[in-house]
A and B are shown apart, each in its own frame.
Chain A
Amino acid sequence: MTTVVAGSNLLADLLSGPRPAEWASLREAAELRLAGRELPATRDEDWKYTDLKVLASSTFGPAPKATVDIAGHLLPEMVGTRQVFVNGHHAPHASCASAVPAGVRYFPMSHASEACHTLGSIGNGAAKGLFEDLNTARFEDGAVILVPKNLKVALPLHLLFITKAETPIAVFPRILVMLERGAELELVEEHHGEGPYLSCPVVEVHVAEGAILRHERVQRESPEAYHLGTLKAEVGRGGQYHSRTLSFGARLSRQQPWVRLAEGAEASLDGLALLEGAQVADTHSFLHHAEPGASSHQLHKCIVDGKARAIFNGRILVAQGAQGTDAQQQSRNLLLSEAARVDTKPQLEIYADDVKCSHGAAVGQLDPEELFYLQSRGMNADDARNLLTYGFAADVLTHIPVASLRRALRQLVMARTQATSLGDLG
Chain B
Amino acid sequence: MSSTLNVVTSQEYKYGFVTDIEADSVAPGLNEDVIRFISAKKGEPDWLLAFRLKAYRHWLTMTEPEWAKVEYPKPDFQKIVYYSAPKPKKPQYASMDEVDPELRRTFEKLGVPIHEQEALAGVAVDVVFDSVSVTTTYREKLAAVGIIFCSFSEAVKSHPDLVKQYLGSVVPSSDNFYAALNSAVFTDGSFVFIPKGVACPMDLSTYFRINNKESGQFERTLIVAEEGASVSYLEGCTAPQFDTNQLHAAVVELVALDRASIKYSTVQNWYAGDKNGVGGIFNFVTKRGLCKGKASHISWTQVETGSAITWKYPSCVLLGDDSIGEFYSVALTNHKQQADTGTKMVHIGRNTKSTIISKGISAGDSSNSYRGLVKVQPKAEGARNFSQCDSMLIGQSCSASTFPYIEVQNRSARVEHEATTSKIGEEQLLYFQQRGIPAEEAISMIINGFCKDVFRELPMEFAVEATKLLSLKLEGSVG
Residues of A within 8 A of B (CB): 45, 49, 320-321, 323, 333, 335-365
Partner of A320, one of B396, B403, B420, B421: B396
Q: Does B397 touch A at the CB level, under 8 Å?
A: yes
Complex interface: chain A residues within 8 A of B396 (CB): 320-321, 323, 352-353
> Can you give 11 contacting A-B residue pairs, CB < 8 Å?
A45-B67, A335-B413, A338-B410, A341-B409, A345-B406, A346-B402, A351-B399, A361-B416, A362-B417, A363-B414, A364-B413
Is A342 a contact partner of B417 (Cβ separation < 8 A)?
no
Binary per-residue interface labels of chain B (398-442) against chain A in the complex, 1 for a CB within 8 Å, 0 otherwise? 111111111111111111111111110000000000000000000
CA gap between A140 and B395 in the complex, in Å: 50
Question: Beyond the given A345-B405, A347-B403, could you list 15 further A-B residue pairs with CB under 8 A, ordered by the A residue number?
Answer: A340-B411, A341-B407, A341-B409, A343-B406, A346-B417, A347-B402, A350-B401, A350-B421, A353-B393, A353-B394, A359-B418, A361-B406, A361-B416, A363-B415, A364-B413
Is B412 a contact partner of A350 (Cβ separation < 8 A)?
no
Is A357 a contact partner of B415 (Cβ separation < 8 A)?
no
Partner of B407, one of A343, A350, A355: A343
Complex interface: chain A residues within 8 A of B409 (CB): 341
Identify which of A338, A351, A361, A363 gathers the most chain B CB atoms within 10 Å of its CB: A363
Complex interface: chain A residues within 8 A of B394 (CB): 353
Chain B interface extent, by class:
35 or more
Complex interface: chain B residues within 8 A of A341 (CB): 407-409
Complex interface: chain A residues within 8 A of B412 (CB): 365
Is B416 a contact partner of A360 (Cβ separation < 8 A)?
yes
Q: Does B391 touch A at the CB level, under 8 Å?
A: yes
CA gap between A401 and B409 in the complex, in Å: 36
Is A347 a contact partner of B417 (Cβ separation < 8 A)?
no
Is A336 a contact partner of B423 (Cβ separation < 8 A)?
no
Complex interface: chain B residues within 8 A of A350 (CB): 391, 393, 399-401, 421
Partner of B406, one of A338, A349, A351, A363: A363
Complex interface: chain A residues within 8 A of B399 (CB): 320, 349-351
Contacts A358-B418, A362-B416, A363-B415 known; A353 to B423 CB distance under 8 Å? yes
CA gap between A320 and B400 in the complex, in Å: 11
Is B402 a contact partner of A354 (Cβ separation < 8 A)?
no
Complex interface: chain B residues within 8 A of A354 (CB): 423
Closest chain B residue to A367, Cβ basis: B414
CA gap between A309 and B415 in the complex, in Å: 16
Complex interface: chain B residues within 8 A of A348 (CB): 391, 400-402, 419, 421
Is A346 a contact partner of B421 (Cβ separation < 8 A)?
no
CA gap between A337 and B410 in the complex, in Å: 8
CA gap between A346 and B406 in the complex, in Å: 9
Identify which of B378, B394, B403 gathers the most chain A CB atoms within 10 Å of its CB: B403
Tell me the smallest distance from the CB of B70 to a CB of chain A, in Å: 14
Partner of A358, one of B393, B404, B405, B421: B421
Complex interface: chain B residues within 8 A of A358 (CB): 418-421
Identify which of A45, A321, A323, A347 gathers the most chain B CB atoms within 10 Å of its CB: A347
Tell me the smallest distance from the CB of B62 to a CB of chain A, in Å: 15
Tell me the smallest distance from the CB of B168 to a CB of chain A, in Å: 26
CA gap between A343 and B420 in the complex, in Å: 21
CA gap between A357 and B402 in the complex, in Å: 11
Is A335 a contact partner of B393 (Cβ separation < 8 A)?
no
Complex interface: chain B residues within 8 A of A351 (CB): 397-399
Complex interface: chain A residues within 8 A of B415 (CB): 361-364
CA gap between A421 and B399 in the complex, in Å: 52
Closest chain A residue to B391, Cβ basis: A350
Tell me the smallest distance from the CB of A268 to a CB of chain B, in Å: 19
Identify which of B396, B406, B410, B418 gathers the most chain A CB atoms within 10 Å of its CB: B406
Residues facing A in B334-357 (CB within 8 A) are none
Complex interface: chain B residues within 8 A of A364 (CB): 413-416
Nearest 6 pairs of A and B residues by beta carbon: A335-B411, A353-B393, A364-B414, A361-B417, A357-B421, A363-B408
Tell me the smallest distance from the CB of A28 to a CB of chain B, in Å: 32
Closest chain B residue to A328, Cβ basis: B420
Complex interface: chain A residues within 8 A of B422 (CB): 356
Contacts A336-B411, A364-B415 known; A356 to B403 CB distance under 8 Å? no
Tell me the smallest distance from the CB of A156 to a CB of chain B, in Å: 36
CA gap between A61 and B417 in the complex, in Å: 44
Identify which of B376, B398, B404 gathers the most chain A CB atoms within 10 Å of its CB: B404
CA gap between A363 and B420 in the complex, in Å: 19
CA gap between A354 and B394 in the complex, in Å: 9
Contacts A320-B396, A360-B416, A362-B417 known; A347 to B406 CB distance under 8 Å? no
Identify which of B396, B399, B408, B416 gathers the most chain A CB atoms within 10 Å of its CB: B408
Identify which of B394, B412, B420 gathers the most chain A CB atoms within 10 Å of its CB: B420
CA gap between A348 and B390 in the complex, in Å: 11
Closest chain A residue to B422, Cβ basis: A356
Tell me the smallest distance from the CB of B290 to a CB of chain A, in Å: 24
Tell me the smallest distance from the CB of A220 to a CB of chain B, in Å: 25
Closest chain A residue to B392, Cβ basis: A353
Closest chain A residue to B363, Cβ basis: A353
Is B403 a contact partner of A345 (Cβ separation < 8 A)?
yes
Tell me the smallest distance from the CB of A327 to a CB of chain B, in Å: 9
Complex interface: chain B residues within 8 A of A343 (CB): 405-408
Complex interface: chain A residues within 8 A of B401 (CB): 347-350
Complex interface: chain B residues within 8 A of A49 (CB): 407
CA gap between A355 and B405 in the complex, in Å: 23
Is B393 a contact partner of A342 (Cβ separation < 8 A)?
no
CA gap between A149 and B376 in the complex, in Å: 52
CA gap between A21 and B416 in the complex, in Å: 52
Closest chain A residue to B386, Cβ basis: A362
CA gap between A364 and B397 in the complex, in Å: 38
Complex interface: chain B residues within 8 A of A365 (CB): 411-412, 414
Is B408 a contact partner of A360 (Cβ separation < 8 A)?
no
Closest chain B residue to A319, Cβ basis: B399
CA gap between A320 and B399 in the complex, in Å: 8
Is A342 a contact partner of B408 (Cβ separation < 8 A)?
yes
Closest chain A residue to B395, Cβ basis: A353
CA gap between A340 and B407 in the complex, in Å: 11
Binary per-residue interface labels of chain B (53-81) against chain A in the complex, 1 for a CB within 8 Å, 0 otherwise? 00000000000000100000000000000
Complex interface: chain A residues within 8 A of B408 (CB): 333, 335, 341-343, 363
